[in-house]
Structure 1
Amino acid sequence: MAEDLSNEFSLDEAGLRAWMLAWYDHAVSVGFLCPPFIMNDVMAERLEGYFRVGLTPAEGAEAFFGVAH
């Protein structure tokens, strides 16, 4: 019998989840945000884009909260 993994995260989803947790920890540690922080779908999609292009969590926090030029 095959094991049902439908409730498990894929490796990519697990990586994104870990990246977002590290992003959050960094953003709090440098004062970009204070807990609690409520993320909406638009913010989550933006962060996922940063993850997909290979930014580190710290780079993602800088891009997310930094001043646009």
Structure 2
Amino acid sequence: MAEDNPDCLTQNDLELRAWMLAWYDHAVSVGFVRPPFTLSDATAERLEGYFKVGLTPVEGAEAFFGIVH
């Protein structure tokens, strides 16, 4: 698959992948999730939305796991 080959990914795809890895690292470090964590398609789409609007990985984790007011 093209998505498994970093040579076939666009710059945006590479940045999104790095963002999601940083999001995951933060989510684990603060106890939001514990490994192993399976990323569903719906979760990936939601996180991609956070990335597209310019949230940092920390902000994305807070938004994803935080309490809705």
Same structural fold, with TM-score higher than 0.5 when normalized by the shorter chain: yes
Task: Report SS of the residue matched to 2:8.
Answer: coil
Task: Report SS of the residue matched to 1:46.
Answer: helix
Deviation at 1:8, TM superposition (A): 1.3
Number of positions where the alignment pairs a residue of Structure 1 with one of Structure 2:
63
Letter matched to residue 43 of structure 1: T
| TM-score, structure 2 normalization | 0.88
| TM-score, structure 1 normalization | 0.88
Which residue in the other structure is 1:55 paired with?
Answer: 55
Deviation at 1:17, TM superposition (A): 0.2
Deviation at 1:35, TM superposition (A): 0.3
Distance, in Å, in 2 between the alignment partners of 1:39 and 1:25 is: 13
* Richer in helix (by share): 2
Q: In the TM superposition, what whole-angstrom CA distance separates every residue of 1:13-59 from its partner, at most 9, and x where no partner exists?
A: 00000000000000000110000000111000000000000000000
Distance, in Å, in 2 between the alignment partners of 1:40 and 1:30 is: 21
**Structure 1: 5+ residue stretches without partners:** 1-6
**Structure 2: 5+ residue stretches without partners:** 1-6
Identity of aligned residues (%): 68
